[in-house]
Structures are given as structure tokens and as C-alpha cells.
């Protein structure tokens, strides 16, 4: 599947397209099919997102998992500072990235 | 150290107001991202893998305690309580909001700091020797010239839209502690017929195509350095490639044009530029130099150090260097504790270092390009107190220039340009070689890790270098041997096929074993490599 | 919004030169010329007395070659109109003025309020360039 990510313009937060808005959590990302670029252009023009791009992902164990390790790190946070990740309390979260 | 006068302060304040206005216009949609990007980059603000990242300038690596405290304050107030000291003597913060950036710049301006030109296709932070002003072998303190050039390069109207970034280093010793030959322009202060001037090297750099800068001119008197550099920059601005981002640095221009032709064009331009009256008078350099007068050292102090505490003695042997003033020493603070992140410091640690600088080092400290900190003027009598405080704060590692003193870029954990993570590799290597005796026995071994070909970790200049690559979506690591960023400058050679994350740690260990098996008396790792060559290493690595 | 802006008092016409720099290889009576990014402004040095308008094009604002072209012309004594055209944005106008440009014909019109702010933003300058501003080191040392 293809999903869409971007940064919030004012805060820089990493965000994922949910189908009708943006979420900070990759689990909320939806398959944009071939429409990713079109959605990105509209959202960036309206300043609801910045530097949006499409990436590959798959559903793994029932949840969205970006295909490349870079976007998994983007989704979670630095693997060397899991205390700063989006899920600091989850002890297995480092394995999800790698 | 330098203190702003009314003009410096007015300029930096105007810059803050300008960026506040530009940010407001971006948020209101009056500027597109493409139009805003170079403007924010010229204020050090990147959009990175997790958030905006702000790179704050530490001009030629020198800071006061008050300024260091502001860096801690910024980490606490606007970021996640830590900062990262970089391979260009700057500090960067990884979790910045664009909406906060103007206020952060205003806070910095209140203590004579800024983030001017720490990114963008312009002249970047001018770096220097971390032992400037206290090294016995220096011709003069290089920092007054670095400050003069900082001012000259700030908002230079002709050179703000260069083909690519431009990095300058200024040193004043034959021993190169700033990787000067690997800069776009490297300057070594030298004495000729009793007069001090600049020996100029142009066209060095790392990245995809590492090159060592050739000498372009053996001597430029102080009074002509600015017009000479303008000539160097103008030739680059006019003729540097703009068709291909990976061929746009001045090293490519000097290489493709040839050193002789580049020199000829610079001399031609210089001849007409030095008649334009653009060089500041020598009085301006003298005005700046007055800020760098040696501190009020106490005379007649003892050179005795009580070495009865073995941990303290180990730290002294590794981290403390001789000072030209009797009774004083240079203290190196390691930001590479085992299990830590190379170059990172918490706000509490930053505050502690600020305190130590104020109490024990005439309120001045330096950031090194190896991502460590220097307290340049510590009384030998105070060393134990300094060490005790550092040790309590997790800053007491004794690994300067040893295998544990790893230079590492942030890598894929932080950087959207990266192909592989660098910090976990650094941590695993540190853990493997954690034993102090083993590190000491290996001796000087500069290990440098980059997470991608852009080489921000300076892997080409490592005695052992590691380059992270993406191999079909999986992180892979290439090993290089024999590089050096010192005056015996050399580019590392790749050993062969890459390794996975555990494999590279084993490979590093095997390489050190080859060294131990073959070394002759007094040889460092890099010396043995140069004597025996790559083959013995390859044979073991790929057996 | 401003489609044309000048700092010159003698400005009356707003013509757009079509004469290119190649014309000056041979004989020409042209008094106006347009330089593209990457062309050598010094080719015009023998003709500066006759020229009253030199236009320098910025194909994209990030291509900074026009700043060098402008400054070279002013250093050689050119006193006529020096115009920046193309992808000229208000945030670069200050640097352009410092390099000697005194008129601007941007592709996108300029916001006059933003322009006024940009022109008066910096009270001091660190370097001597092609404008009349005294650099800070001259103020410090009289």
C-alpha cells in the first residue's frame, strides 16, 4: 500500500494522512493508492502540511508498518532514545523499527 | 573572548526581526516552502526526520559560561532537554518548532549568539583549533582572524547564493587539530620575515568525493586576506557548477579547472579587488585581538598533581594536555561515555560545564570538531575538583583520541539524508572496547562513523572509518582504514565488501588485532597500517 | 503590488532590453543589454561608457551568479541603470542593492510593504560592497 507523510508546518511534528486529516500516529495512516501526490499538493497548498511525500507500507500484525526502516524511525522516534519515542512505555517498540 | 559592540548587537537584532517577519509570512502563506527554505537554512533551521532541527553557531568553537547556560536553557525550554555538539564545533537541537524559532533566536541574541549561516549555500561557521590561545606551538591566536572573517562572511551580499555550502577553517600551528586541509578554504597562520599572514589552501572537503585542499598561496598579509578570500569566492560563485548538487563544491571546481588555472583566476581577480578598499584596516584586527589577550594567569603555581587516586590519574593521563603557562593545564571533557550518544549533552551537563568554565577556566570553554569540550586554562591544583564534578555528571570518560572517542554523525536515527544508523554502531564498538586498559593499549585510534556518503561523521579522515549504506533496504557498513584529518592528512581506503551491524563491530575488532599483532615500538594504529598496507587487514577481515 | 521598482531618480522608461551580450562581440550601437546567468559581465567593460541600462537575469533566485556580475560592473565604474530581473524576491533585494542593482523587474510583483521593510532592515553592514554604505569597520576606526 501507499501512505502519505508530512510535517506540520508550524510545529514540525511528523504527521500521517488518515483519509480526512492528519494524525501523529502511523497506525492511523490509510492507503492513498495512486492519489498520494494529488492529496499532498492540496494539503501543502492549504498549509495543512509541509514537505509531504508518499511511501510504501504494509499491514503487518494488523498494523501499518512502513516498508523502509527510515520511515519506521520517522514514525517512532530515534532508536537510541526510546524514552523520546511516541511509545516510551512499550518495551518491544525498538524491535518494531528494526 | 570577543564581545559584541553596538554594531554587532544591532546587526544580530535586525537579523532576528528579519527572520521573525519571514516566519510570519511563511505561516501566513505569503512565502512558499521553496522560497522560505534558503531563508530558514541561513538561520540554521532544517526540516529533519522527526521535526525542525536548529543548528546554533559557536563561532570558532569558543563560548562563555553565560552563553553555555543559554544553550542549556534552550534545550530545556524549547527542546527535549539535550543538545548535540557537532563536527563543526556547533550545537544542534532536534525537536524545534518553527513557531518558536524567532523567540529562540531572540534568546540567543541576548547573549551575543545566533544561528546565522549554519546552513544554506553560503559561508558557514568558521572553525578553528580547540587549543587556540594556549598551544605552545601557535604562531598567534587564530581566533581574531576567525572573528574578522566571521563578520566579513555574515550576510555577504555577493556570496549568499553560492553553488553549495562553503566551510572555512583557520589554524595557527603546523599540527592540524581542525582538519583544516579538508575544508573548502583552509588557512594556516604563518610567519614570513617576521610578519604574520595567511597560508591559503582551497578545494578540500569530504562527502562523496573527498579531496585534500592544495595550497593556492603561500602567504597573504593580514591587510589583504579579505580581498584575497573575496577573489577565491568570486571565482567559485561565477564558475562553480550549478547543474549537479553532487558536483557543486569548490573542490570539484579546483579539481576540474586544475589548481594552476584556479590560482591564476584568483590572482587576476585579487589584483583588481585589493585596490577597491574592501580590506578592513589592521586596526580592526588589533581591536578584535585585544579581546583575546591571555587571561590573568597566576604566577608561580605548582606543577604538582596528586595522582594517588588511580581513576583520577587515568583521566589526567588521557584527558589533560600541557599548557604553555606553568601551573596550568588544558582539560578535555569527553562527551563519549560508554552507552551514551557521541556529542550529546543533557541540559544539566551543559549547565555543569558552564559552572566549571566560570569557576576554573576564566569563564571560557571550547567545542572541538571531535564533538568534545575543552576547558583551556585550568590550574593543576584544581584538576581533581574538576574531575570529581565531571565524573559525578557522567562526563568523566577517559578516552581522548582513543578508540572510545568516536566521532559519529546523528545518522538514520535523526537525519533524513542518512542511509543507516550510526549511533548504535558507535555504542556497540564502545561497549566492545570498554575496558580502559585495552583502550590505552590500543593507543591513539581515531574512529569516525558516517551514516551516509555526505560524511558529516568525517569517516574519510578516520584511522578507522565506517560508512553506513543502504543495501537493498537493509543497513550495511563499509570499513575504511588509514585516514587522518591531522597534518598527516590522508583519505581512508575501503577494505572491501561491507558488513552488517554486528559484523562491522567484529571487523573493527579484527582490524585492531592485526595492528596489535604487527605493530613495532611506538607505532600508532595508523602508522602500522601505513607500513604494512591493506593486505594483512583484508586477509583477516575476509578470511 | 509593484511590477517594477527603482532607486534611481532619473528613471523614466521601463523598457526591457532584448540585446544580448553576443551582440557586443561585433559592432553595435546598443545602449542597453541583458546578461544571462553565467555570461561574463566583463565582456561589456569596453562599452560601459555607452551603456545606460544593463539587465541581469536571475533564472531562479538560488542562482547567485548575478550578484557577482553586478558588483563587477560597478567596480569597473558602470554608473548607468543596473536592473535585476527574473526570479527576484523581496528577501533578496537587500543583497542585490548592496551588489549595485538599482532597479528591479521581477517575474512576480513585489509587496511594497515587505519591500520597504527589507530595504530598511539592517542598520549596519559588515562588508564594503558596491553600494555607498560604510562598513562597520570604517565606523569603528573613523
**What percentage of chain B carries pLDDT values higher than 70?**
100
Averaged pLDDT for residues A17-39: 97
Give the DSSP letter string of A69-97. Answer: HHHHHHHH--TT-GGGSS-TT-TTHHHHH
Select from B122, B158, B273 the residue whose CB has the most chain C CBs within 10 Å, as the one to mutate to test that interface: B158
Strand ranges across the sheet with A50-60: A22-23, A14-17, A2-7, A50-60, A63-66
Chain C CA closest to residue B17: C121
Is C119 touching B (CB cutoff 8 A)?
Answer: no
Please state, in angstroms and rounded to a whole number, the distance separating the CA atoms of residues A17 and A14.
10
B41 has pLDDT over 80: yes
C132 has pLDDT over 70: yes
- Closest partner residue to C140 (CB to CB) among B15, B22, B284 is B284
A98 has pLDDT over 90: no
Please state, in angstroms and rounded to a whole number, the distance separating the CA atoms of residues B75 and C94.
33
- Closest partner residue to C98 (CB to CB) among B15, B154, B157 is B157
For B89, residues 6+ apart whose C-beta sits below 8 A from its C-beta are B58, B60, B61, B125, B127, B128, B130, B366, B367, B368, B369
Domains in chain B, start-ordered, CATH in brackets? 6-109 (3.90.480.20), 134-289 (3.30.413.10), 310-392 (3.30.70.3340), 407-541 (3.30.413.10)
Cβ separation B47–A67 shorter than 8 A: no
pTM for the model: 0.97
Chain A contacts of B427, Cβ < 8 Å?
80
For B196, residues 6+ apart whose C-beta sits below 8 A from its C-beta are B139, B140, B189, B190, B222
Residue A4's pLDDT is what? 98
Please state, in angstroms and rounded to a whole number, the distance separating the CA atoms of residues C21 and C40.
8
Segment B413-452, tens digit of pLDDT: 999 999 999 999 999 999 999 999 999 999 999 999 999 9
Burial class (CB in 10 A: 0-12, 13-18, 19+), B472: exposed
Residue C24's pLDDT is what? 79
Segment B448-465, tens digit of pLDDT: 999 999 999 999 999 999
Segment B185-226, tens digit of pLDDT: 999 999 999 999 999 999 999 988 999 999 999 999 999 999
Domains held by chain A: number: 1
What's the number of CA atoms in the CB half-sphere (13 Å) around residue B387?
A: 26
- Closest partner residue to A79 (CB to CB) among B33, B96, B421 is B421
Number of Cβ within 10 Å of residue B513's Cβ equals 12
Cβ separation C128–B121 shorter than 8 A: no
Chain A contacts of B413, Cβ < 8 Å?
73, 78-81
Averaged pLDDT for residues B34-39: 96
Please state, in angstroms and rounded to a whole number, the distance separating the CA atoms of residues B146 and B75.
27
Give the DSSP letter string of B39-102. Answer: HHHTTTEEE-SSSEEEEE--GGGEE-HHHHHHHHHHHHHHSSSEEEE-TTS-EEEEEE-GGGHH
Chain B CA closest to residue C121: B14
> Considering only CA atoms, which of B269, B251, B239, B160 is closest in space to residue B205?
B251
Cβ separation A78–B33 shorter than 8 A: no
Number of Cβ within 10 Å of residue B146's Cβ equals 28
B528 has pLDDT over 90: yes
Average pLDDT, chain B: 97
Segment B341-350, tens digit of pLDDT: 999 999 999 9
A88 has pLDDT over 80: no
Tell me the three state secondary structure of residue C21.
helix
Question: How far is Cα of residue B442 from the mean position of the Cα atoms in its chain?
Answer: 25
Please state, in angstroms and rounded to a whole number, the distance separating the CA atoms of residues B462 and B457.
9
- Closest partner residue to B412 (CB to CB) among A47, A51, A73 is A73
CATH number at residue C111: 3.40.50
B27: closest CA of chain C, how far (Å) = 15
The pair phi, psi for residue C13, each rounded to 5°, is -85, 160
Cβ separation B99–A51 shorter than 8 A: no
Cβ separation C122–B281 shorter than 8 A: no
For B343, residues 6+ apart whose C-beta sits below 8 A from its C-beta are B84, B85, B86, B335, B336, B371, B407, B408
Averaged pLDDT for residues B373-398: 98
Domain that holds residue C94: 5-141
Residue B324 vs residue B392, higher pLDDT: B392
> Considering only CA atoms, which of B474, B460, B483 is closest in space to residue B530?
B483
For B243, residues 6+ apart whose C-beta sits below 8 A from its C-beta are none
B22: closest CA of chain C, how far (Å) = 8
> Considering only CA atoms, which of B125, B107, B15, B94 is closest in space to residue B66?
B107
B269: closest CA of chain A, how far (Å) = 41
A43: closest CA of chain B, how far (Å) = 12
Domain that holds residue A28: 2-97
Place of cell 546565522: B116
Residue C12's pLDDT is what? 60
Burial class (CB in 10 A: 0-12, 13-18, 19+), A52: buried
Chain B CA closest to residue C139: B7
Please state, in angstroms and rounded to a whole number, the distance separating the CA atoms of residues B421 and A72.
12
Parallel, antiparallel or unpaired: strands B185-192 and B168-171: parallel
Domains held by chain C: number: 1
Burial class (CB in 10 A: 0-12, 13-18, 19+), B477: buried
Strand runs labelled E in B152-290: 168-171, 185-192, 195-202, 215-221
C13 has pLDDT over 70: no
C91: closest CA of chain B, how far (Å) = 8
- C137 contacts B226 by C-beta, under 8 angstroms: no
Segment B4-14, tens digit of pLDDT: 999 999 999 99
A17 has pLDDT over 90: yes
C42 confidence band (pLDDT: 50, 70, 90): very high
Cβ separation B418–A79 shorter than 8 A: no
C14 has pLDDT over 80: no
A86 confidence band (pLDDT: 50, 70, 90): confident
A13: closest CA of chain B, how far (Å) = 5
Residue B208's pLDDT is what? 87
Cβ separation B98–A11 shorter than 8 A: yes
B256 has pLDDT over 80: yes
Amino acid at each position: 500500500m501507499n501512505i502519505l507523510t508530512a510535517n506540520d508546518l508550524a510545529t514540525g511534528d511528523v504527521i500521517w494522512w488518515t483519509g480526512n486529516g492528519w494524525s501523529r500516529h502511523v497506525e492511523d495512516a490509510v492507503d492513498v493508492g495512486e492519489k498520494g501526490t494529488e492529496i499532498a499538493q492540496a494539503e501543502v497548498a492549504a498549509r495543512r502540511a509541509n514537505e509531504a511525500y508518499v511511501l510504501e507500507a504494509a499491514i503487518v500484525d494488523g498494523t501499518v508498518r512502513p516498508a523502509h526502516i527510515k520511515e519506521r524511525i520517522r514514525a517512532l522516534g530515534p532508536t537510541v532514545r526510546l524514552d523520546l519515542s511516541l511509545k516510551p512505555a512499550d518495551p518491544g517498540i525498538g524491535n518494531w523499527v528494526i | 573572548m570577543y564581545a559584541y559592540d553596538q554594531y554587532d548587537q544591532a546587526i544580530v537584532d535586525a537579523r532576528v526581526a528579519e527572520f521573525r517577519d519571514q516566519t510570519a509570512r511563511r505561516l501566513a502563506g505569503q512565502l512558499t516552502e521553496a522560497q522560505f527554505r534558503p531563508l530558514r537554512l541561513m538561520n540554521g533551521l532544517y526540516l529533519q526526520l522527526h521535526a525542525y532541527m536548529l543548528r546554533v553557531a559557536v563561532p570558532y568553537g569558543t563560548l562563555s559560561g553565560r552563553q553555555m547556560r543559554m544553550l542549556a536553557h534552550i534545550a530545556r525550554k524549547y527542546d527535549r532537554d539535550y543538545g548535540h555538539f557537532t563536527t563543526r564545533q556547533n550545537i544542534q537541537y532536534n525537536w524545534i518548532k518553527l513557531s518558536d524559532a524567532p523567540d529562540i533566536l531572540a534568546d540567543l541574541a541576548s547573549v551575543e549568539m545566533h544561528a546565522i549561516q549554519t546552513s544554506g549555500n553560503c559561508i558557514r561557521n568558521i572553525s578553528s583549533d580547540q587549543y587556540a590561545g594556549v598551544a605552545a606551538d601557535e604562531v598567534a591566536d587564530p581566533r581574531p582572524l576567525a572573528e574578522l572573517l566571521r563578520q566579513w562572511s555574515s550576510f555577504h551580499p555577493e556570496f549568499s547564493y553560492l553553488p553549495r555550502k562553503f566551510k572555512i577553517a583557520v589554524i595557527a600551528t603546523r599540527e592540524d587539530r581542525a582538519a583544516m586541509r579538508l575544508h573548502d578554504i583552509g588557512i594556516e597562520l604563518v610567519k614570513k620575515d617576521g610578519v604574520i599572514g595567511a597560508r591559503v589552501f582551497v578545494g578540500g572537503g569530504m562527502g562523496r568525493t573527498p579531496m585534500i585542499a592544495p595550497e593556492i598561496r603561500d602567504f597573504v598579509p593580514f591587510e589583504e586576506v579579505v580581498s584575497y578570500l573575496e577573489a577565491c569566492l568570486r571565482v567559485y560563485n561565477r564558475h562553480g557548477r550549478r547543474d549537479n548538487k553532487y558536483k557543486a563544491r569548490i573542490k570539484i571546481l579546483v579539481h576540474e579547472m586544475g589548481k594552476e588555472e584556479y590560482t591564476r583566476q584568483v590572482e587576476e581577480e585579487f589584483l583588481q579587488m585589493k585596490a577597491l578598499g574592501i580590506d578592513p584596516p589592521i586596526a580592526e584586527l588589533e581591536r578584535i585581538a585585544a579581546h583575546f589577550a591571555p587571561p590573568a594567569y597566576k604566577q608561580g603555581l605548582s606543577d604538582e598533581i596528586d595522582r594517588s587516586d588511580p581513576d583520577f590519574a587515568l583521566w589526567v593521563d588521557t584527558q589533560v594536555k600541557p599548557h604553555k603557562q606553568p601551573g596550568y593545564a588544558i582539560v578535555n571533557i569527553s562527551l563519549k561515555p560508554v552507552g551514551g550518544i557521541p556529542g550529546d549533552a543533557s541540559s544539566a551537563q551543559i549547565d555543569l560545564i558552564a559552572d566549571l568554565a566560570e569557576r576554573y577556566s576564566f569563564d571560557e570553554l571550547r567545542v572541538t570538531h571531535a564533538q568534545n569540550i575543552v576547558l583551556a586554562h585550568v590550574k593543576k591544583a584544581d584538576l581533581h575538583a574538576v574531575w570529581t564534578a565531571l565524573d559525578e555528571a557522567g562526563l568523566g570518560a577517559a578516552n581522548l583520541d582513543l578508540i572510545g572517542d568516536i566521532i559519529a554523525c546523528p545518522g538514520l536515527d535523526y537525519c533524513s539524508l542518512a542511509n543507516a544508523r550510526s549511533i548504535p554502531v558507535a555504542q556497540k564498538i564502545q561497549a566492545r572496547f570498554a575496558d580502559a586498559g585495552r583502550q590505552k593499549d590500543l593507543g591513539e585510534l581515531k574512529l569516525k562513523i558516517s551514516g551516509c556518503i555526505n560524511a558529516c561523521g568525517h569517516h574519510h579522515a578516520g584511522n578507522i572509518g565506517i560508512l553506513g549504506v543502504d543495501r537493498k533496504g537493509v543497513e550495511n557498513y563499509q570499513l575504511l582504514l588509514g585516514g587522518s584529518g591531522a597534518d598527516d592528512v590522508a583519505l581512508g581506503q575501503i577494505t572491501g565488501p561491507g558488513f552488517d551491524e554486528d559484523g562491522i563491530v567484529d571487523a573493527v575488532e579484527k582490524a585492531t588485532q592485526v595492528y596489535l599483532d604487527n605493530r613495532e615500538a611506538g607505532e600508532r594504529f595508523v602508522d602500522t597500517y601505513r607500513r604494512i598496507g591493506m593486505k594483512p587487514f583484508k586477509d583477516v577481515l575476509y578470511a | 503590488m509593484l511590477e517594477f521598482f527603482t532607486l534611481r531618480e532619473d528613471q523614466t522608461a521601463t523598457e526591457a532590453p532584448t540585446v544580448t551580450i553576443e551582440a557586443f562581440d561585433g559592432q553595435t550601437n546598443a545602449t542597453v543589454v541583458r546578461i544571462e546567468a553565467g555570461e561574463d559581465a566583463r565582456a561589456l567593460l569596453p562599452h560601459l561608457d555607452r551603456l545606460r541600462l544593463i539587465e541581469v537575469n536571475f533564472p531562479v533566485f538560488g542562482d547567485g551568479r548575478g550578484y557577482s556580475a553586478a558588483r563587477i560592473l560597478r567596480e569597473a565604474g558602470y554608473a548607468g541603470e543596473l536592473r535585476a530581473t527574473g526570479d527576484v524576491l523581496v528577501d533578496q533585494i537587500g543583497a542585490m542593492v548592496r551588489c549595485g542593482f538599482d532597479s528591479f523587474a521581477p517575474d512576480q510583483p513585489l509587496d511594497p510593504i515587505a519591500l520597504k521593510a527589507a530595504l530598511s532592515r539592517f542598520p549596519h553592514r559588515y562588508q564594503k560592497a558596491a553600494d555607498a554604505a560604510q562598513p562597520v569597520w570604517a565606523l569603528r576606526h573613523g
